[in-house]
Amino acid sequence: MRYSGESTIGRRLMLILLLVSGGVLLLSTGAFLVNDWFSLRSAVFERLSAQASIVGNSSVAALMFDDTEAASSTLSSLEQEADILAAGIFDPKGRLFADFQRESGALPPTLPTTPEGFYQGHAYVVLPIVLDESRFGSIVLLSDFSYWKKKQTRNLMTALLVLFSSLVVAALLSSRLQRLVSEPILKLAATARRISEKQDYNLRAEKLSRDEIGRLVDDFNGMLRQIQQRDLELKGIQEKLEEKVQARTLELTELTRKLEHQAYHDTLTGLPNRRTFDDHLHLAIEEDQRYGGELAVLFLDLDRFKIINDTLGHSVGDKLLVQVAQRFSHCVRGSDTLARLGGDEFAVLLQRIEHATDAADVARKLIESISEPIEVEGYSLHPSTSVGISIYPSDGRNAETIIKNADAAMYRSKEQGRNRVTFFSAEMNERAERRLALENRLRQVINEGGLSIHYQPRYDTFTREIVGVEALVRWFDPQTGPVSPVEFIPLAEECGLIASIDEWVLENACREVLSWFGGAAPDITLAVNFSPAQFIREDLHKVIGRLLQQTGFPGSRLELEITESLFGTDNSNVFQIFKQLVDLDIQISVDDFGTAYSSLSRLKQLPLHTLKIDQSFVRDVGNDPDDETLVKTIITMAHNLNLKVVAEGVENDTQYRFVKENGCDAIQGLLFGKPMSGDEVGALIRNRRSVSV
Amino acid sequence: MVCRRTRGSVAGLGLRRPWLALLLLLSLVGVSNASAVEGDDLRIDRIKAAFVLNIARFVTWPPQVFEGDAGELQLCLYRRDPLGEGVDEIRGKRVGGRALQVRLIDDLEASNSCHILVIAQQEYSHYKRAQAGSRSRPLLTIADMTGEGGSAGLSRPGVLITLVRKETRIGIEVDLHQSRAAGLQLSSHLLKLARIVGEEG
């Protein structure tokens, strides 16, 4: 590639150089010629003038003495001068006096008016002939100018030759010199083109000069370095990006797998979920419809799991569920489906069973599998499960019915005391329906304020004076009559209605008790039952504090009764809530003491005030020595722990005397008074002096 | 001083042919008063006067001659005026910066202050006798021998320049020997046109 051939920069530079040098040469040649012309011309005239002066001088006497011959002879001496064409002497009147002419007619007939000039292409001068300040005539000299013109033409030719050869030299020089400028630029351009064609940023432009182009090359190379560096960075980034994309793709694949698994499995236990269970059940039923055969669905619900969850926290509950799921999974065959349907509900699908007893065997195995205590976060938990079984096709012709019926059978197990197996029977549906109806009515009755409060008085064992009342919620249904708290309180706990019931009872009992004392501070204690579920709430003291403020009931006269089940757990949250309640001067009593597990150390730690001995122990006093011992022990222990003791269910004198002898502080029971309406208690309070056994 | 005009014998020369040359000469001496052509006598007088004036222009006097004078060039006519009215033409003309004065003298004794002495042909013999024996001095003596009988080519004692008849024209003869003795310098321009007479060198 001959880049100089394509270079317009080179050509332009050359053109510029040629134009400049050519212009200068042309100008100087022109100036030379003009100068030459003028100097030649003035030389001609000077020479002519000098000759005229000499000849004129020589002719002055001839003119003065009218000697034409002498004048003519003087003029004829000009014959020696090759360029002199003619000469003439004129008298002062302008008449020709004497002349010399090479050719006739060369001389102007009259005296020219200008001292010098051209006549018929020939130069002439006119000089006056003067002597002693007097003018005696004029002399005219005519020179053959073609002689001078030839000389001038020779000069012109020489000048043109010099001009032409100068131009040739200038062209040669400029074609070499323009490369000084154009070559570095063209090399730089060639490098740039090579780089853009090959995409190779390792190339560098060569620095040929130390001028602006050299600096341009430096800057260009600097730019290349930057581009190269960015290229490298980009490559690095690209590699990193690709790595990231790969990693992300891997993550996504993993996530997809996980999500697919999650869609069909329970995230907590890893067991199949309700959806998978339904699918399997549908498939199994279709198969059985085609080929005949039986299958069983086992419905499992952990007993009192809600309490564990509420009191020990969800993390404990979740870990318990995981372990339970592991133990359950050991009890089923690979062809069976064990699924977690949600919460503490599990289900098992047993396919191709021979007899219903096969299902019962599996159910028993499941119950036994969790009979051993389960250790979770240091707690030794004793879960149990209630199981319901329904069989296809005898208990239902489709999956929905089978599941619903197994659920109903499970509820029956719960009702019958939990930790057992129940096969579905038709009457179960009726019970389930009643239960649902009950729940609906309960919601309604709470909204409409249809509950009422009865009060069971509490008496001092020794003075037999009334020292308090226990508020008991009552539900009288206009259609079905009274509904037992034993029936609707657990239902309210399950349905989440218990909080509103508890608060309603607290608020209304406070108002009613105050009304007995005409608004003055009561001198008896008001005991209100509070569900353990309430002690999950961290704002419990605020709720109660607000109610006390609204009603004006003094906190020191309020006693909250809480069932013993709450104390079996090491829940610092409960301690905190108790503390906040005690700060309101509220007393806390343990209800139904002795029916559940209570650690003595817990009793000591918590800010408790009173223990209430469960009436099941008191009832057997006089019949069962063991229970008598138990009651006696409880009283002693409570006193040792600096707690008051209340005996519940005192129905006869034997029982009264026993607890009195053993130092029980207060008593409740039919012997002194059954639960009664507020008005009745109000009247009782007003006449309390007259109360007697 | 006004000279009385006297007609000389020259008037009878009958010079008619060189009409053109005469006219030209008239113009050369700067005659402004061309009061018509009165005759050959008058023209010849004028030409002679112009010759005298122009000859004076080619002559250089020794400088001591002009010491203490008033810048005038004295032209003296010996006993008679041969130029006639031509005298009027040249009187007052300037020669070498000096104005030309004309006067008539009766004898040579009176010529001491003269620079130029013009001697008519009729008075030549008188002059010849008068100057005999006198030593040379810087006086330009011009003898007019243009009349009849005036011979040419002769050296005349006491005469430096002689005007002679030369066919239709007036010729000039110069006696170089005497002019040198007189201490006058004659221009080569004049010598080129004149005829040299007398002893050479």
- The ipTM of this complex is 0.71
* Interface A-B: count of C-beta contacts within 8 A: 42
**Number of neighbours of residue A633 by Cβ within 10 angstroms:** 12
Q: Has residue A92 got a pLDDT over 90? A: no
Residue partners of A201: CB distance under 8 A and separation at least 6: A195, A224, A227, A228, A231
Residues in a beta bridge with A116: A125
Whether B18 shows a pLDDT value over 80: the answer reads no
- What token pair was written down for A346? 């599990």
Between residues A319 and A566, which one has the greater pLDDT?
Answer: A319
- Would you place residue A240 in the very low, low, confident or very high pLDDT band (cuts 50, 70, 90)? very high
CA dihedral A553, A556, A558, A560 (to 10 degrees): 140
Q: Which residues contact A688 (CB under 8 A, 6 or more apart)?
A: A465, A466
The string of pLDDT tens digits covering residues A556-586 is 999 999 887 666 555 567 788 888 889 999 9
User: Can you give the pLDDT at residue A569?
Assistant: 56
> Which residues from A are below 8 Å from B27, CB to CB?
91-93
Closest CA to A595 of A570, A566, A557: A566
The string of pLDDT tens digits covering residues A377-425 is 888 888 889 999 999 888 888 899 999 999 989 988 887 777 888 888 8
Report the C-alpha gap between B26 and B21 in whole angstroms.
Answer: 9
Query: Residue A475's beta-bridge partner residues?
Result: A451, A483
- Return the axis-axis angle of helices A8-64 and A145-198, rounded to nearest 10°: 170
Higher pLDDT, B99 or B1: B99
Contacts of A63 in chain B (CB under 8 A): 28
Element (H, E) at A210: none
Distance CA B110, CA A514 (A): 195
- What's the pLDDT score for residue A246? 95
Say which range, A251-265, A359-373, A408-422, B43-57, has the weakest mean pLDDT: A408-422
Q: pLDDT band for position B136 (50/70/90)?
A: confident
How far is the C-alpha of B2 from the C-alpha of A370, rounded, in Å? 191
- As a whole number, the mean pLDDT across chain A is 86
- Dihedral sign, CA of A287, A291, A292, A295? negative
B120 strand-pairing partners: none
Closest residue in B to A59 (Cα–Cα): B189
pLDDT at residue A494, rounded to an integer:
73
Give the whole-angstrom CA distance, residue A556 versus residue A558. Answer: 6
- Tell me the pairing of strands A666-667 and A644-647: parallel
* More confident call, A594 vs A89: A89
Greatest mean pLDDT among A317-321, A486-490, B133-137: A317-321
Which DSSP category does A521 fall into? P
For residue range A532-555, what is the model confidence (pLDDT) as tens digits? 777 767 788 888 999 999 999 999
Pair of tokens at residue A153: 């033409």
Assess B166–A contact: CB distance below 8 Å, yes or no.
no
Round the CA-based radius of gyration of chain A to a whole number and report it.
69
Kindly report each contact of residues A450-455 with a partner whose C-beta sits within 8 Å and lies 24 or more positions away, as own/partner.
A450/A475, A450/A476, A451/A475, A451/A501, A451/A504, A451/A505, A452/A476, A452/A677, A453/A505, A453/A508, A453/A509, A453/A512, A453/A678, A454/A675, A454/A676, A454/A677, A454/A678, A455/A509, A455/A675, A455/A676, A455/A677, A455/A678, A455/A681
pLDDT at A4: 45
The Cα A255–Cα A241 span in angstroms is 20
- For A131, the closest chain B residue by CA position comes to B57
Question: Which of B25, B58, B90, B187 is the best mutation test for A, with the most CBs of A within 10 A?
Answer: B58
- Tally of residues, chain A: 693
Distances (CA, A) of A603 to A557, A570, A576, A609, A688: 22, 11, 14, 10, 34
Residue A288 in tokens:
């059985």
- Separation of alpha carbons B117 and B78, rounded Å: 7
Q: Per the CB < 8 Å rule, is A61 touching B190?
A: yes
B25 lies within 8 A of chain A by CB: yes
- Provide the 8-state DSSP code for B3: P
Give the Å distances, CA to CA, from A674 to A470, A515, A544, A651: 11, 21, 27, 10
* Contact yes or no for B57 and A92 at CB 8 A: no
Is B32 touching A (CB cutoff 8 A)? Answer: no
A166 in Cβ contact with A178 (< 8 Å): no
| Residue A67 with chain B: CB contacts under 8 Å | 193
In chain B, residues with a C-beta closer than 8 Å to the C-beta of A97 are: 24
Rounded-to-integer distance, Cα A282 and Cα A484, Å: 41
Mutate to test the interface with A, among B32, B73, B192 (most CBs of A within 10 A): B192
A520 touches A559 (CB < 8 A): no
Instruction: For strands A116-119 and A122-131, give the pairing.
Output: antiparallel
Among the listed residues B121, B47, B55, B122, the one whose alpha carbon sits nearest the alpha carbon of residue B86: B47
Continuous segment of H or E residues that includes residue B82: none
Indicate whether A280 pLDDT > 80.
yes
Tell me what the mean pLDDT of segment B25-41 comes to.
Answer: 49
For residue A463, give both structure tokens: 């003075």
Mean pLDDT of A431-446: 79
Which of A517, A513, A390, A492 is CA-nearest to residue A435? A492
Are A424 and A409 in contact, with CB atoms under 8 Å apart?
Answer: yes
Residue of chain A with shortest Cα separation from B51: A65
Interval B54-66: pLDDT, tens? 999 999 999 888 8
Compare CB distances from A132 to B30, B57, B192 and report the shortest one's residue: B57
- In B, minimum Cα distance to A58 occurs at B189
Residues A123, A44 contacting (CB under 8 angstroms):
yes
The predicted model gives B58-81 an average pLDDT of 86
**Residues A22, A166: Cα–Cα separation, whole Å:** 8
Beta carbons of A66 and B21 less than 8 Å apart:
yes
Q: Do A134 and B25 touch (CB under 8 A)?
A: no
Rounded to the nearest 5°, which phi and psi values hold at B16? -120, -30
pLDDT category at A113 given cuts 50, 70, 90 is: confident
A327 vs B133, which has greater pLDDT? A327
Residue A249 has pLDDT above 50, yes or no: yes
State how far residue A134 is from chain B, nearest Cα, in angstroms: 10
Find the mean pLDDT for residues A66-71: 85
A62 touches chain B (CB under 8 A): yes
Contact with chain B for residue A67, Cβ under 8 A: yes
Reported as a pLDDT band with limits 50, 70 and 90, residue A597 is: low
Measure CB to CB from residue A70 to each of B28, B30, B193 and give the nearest one. Answer: B193
Of chain A, the percentage scoring pLDDT greater than 90 comes to: 32
Note which residues in 104-123 of chain A have CB less than 8 A from chain B.
none
From chain B, pick out residues whose CB is under 8 angstroms from the CB of A60. 189
Confidence of residue B140 (pLDDT cuts 50, 70, 90): very high
- Packing angle between helix A485-495 and helix A427-448, nearest 10 degrees? 80
Q: Which pLDDT score, from 0 to 100, does residue B2 have?
A: 38
Radius of gyration of chain B (CA): 16
Contact A61 B27 (CB under 8 A): no
- Across the interface, whether the CB atoms of A64 and B57 are under 8 A apart is answered yes
A285 touches B at CB < 8 Å:
no
Chain A residues near residue B193 by CB distance under 8 angstroms: 61-62, 65, 67, 70
pLDDT for res A422? 87
CB spacing of B30 vs A134 below 8 angstroms: yes
Asked if the Cβ–Cβ distance from B54 to A65 is below 8 Å, we say: yes
Residues A222-231 have a mean pLDDT of 90
CA distance A545 to A542: 5
A65 interfacial to chain B (CB closer than 8 Å): yes
Q: CA of A70, closest CA in chain B: separation in Å?
A: 7
Query: What one-character-per-residue DSSP string does B115-176 give?
Result: SEEEE-GGGHHHHHHHHTTPPP-S-EEEEEE-STT--SS---TT-SEEEEEETTEEEEEEEH
B21 interfacial to chain A (CB closer than 8 Å):
yes
More confident residue, A417 or A462: A462
Note the pLDDT of residue B21: 46
Q: How far apart are CA A440 and CA B61, in angstroms?
A: 178
Give A199's contacts (C-beta < 8 A, 6+ positions apart).
Answer: none
Q: CB A93 to CB B27 under 8 A?
A: yes
Using N-to-C axis directions, what is the helix angle for A625-640 and A653-661, rounded to 10°? 40
**Burial per residue of A640-670, b for 16 or more beta-carbon CB atoms within 10 angstroms, e otherwise:** eeebbbbbbbbbeeebbebbeebebbbbbbe
What torsion do the CA atoms of B20, B23, B29, B35 make, to the nearest 10 degrees? 180
Asked if B24 reaches chain A (Cβ–Cβ under 8 Å), the answer is: yes
CA distance A59 to chain B (A): 8
A67/B189 Cβ within 8 A: no
Which candidate from A63, A70, A136 shows the least CB-CB separation from B192? Answer: A70
Three-state secondary structure call for residue B71 = coil
Give the Cβ contact number of residue A562 at 10 Å. Answer: 22
pLDDT category of residue A663 using cuts at 50, 70 and 90: very high
* Band of pLDDT at residue B27, cut at 50, 70 and 90: very low
Predicted confidence at residue A528, as pLDDT, reads 94
**How many whole angstroms separate alpha carbon A566 and alpha carbon A575?**
11
Strand partners, A676: A455
- Please check the confidence at residue A296 and state whether its pLDDT lies above 90: yes
- Cβ separation of B28 and A136 shorter than 8 Å? yes
In the DSSP assignment, the letter for residue A522 is P
Q: Name the pTM for this structure.
A: 0.40
Which alpha helices (DSSP H) does A330-385 contain, by range?
A: 356-369
| Residue B110 main-chain phi, psi, to 5 deg | -85, 0
Residue in chain B nearest A60 by alpha carbon = B189
Q: What contacts B41, CB < 8 A, 6 or more positions away? A: B7, B8, B10, B11, B12, B84
* Mean predicted confidence (pLDDT) in B163-177: 88
pLDDT, tens digit, for every residue of A147-166?
778 888 888 899 889 889 98
Is the predicted pLDDT of residue A438 greater than 90, yes or no? no
Distance from CA of B60 to the nearest CA of A (A): 12
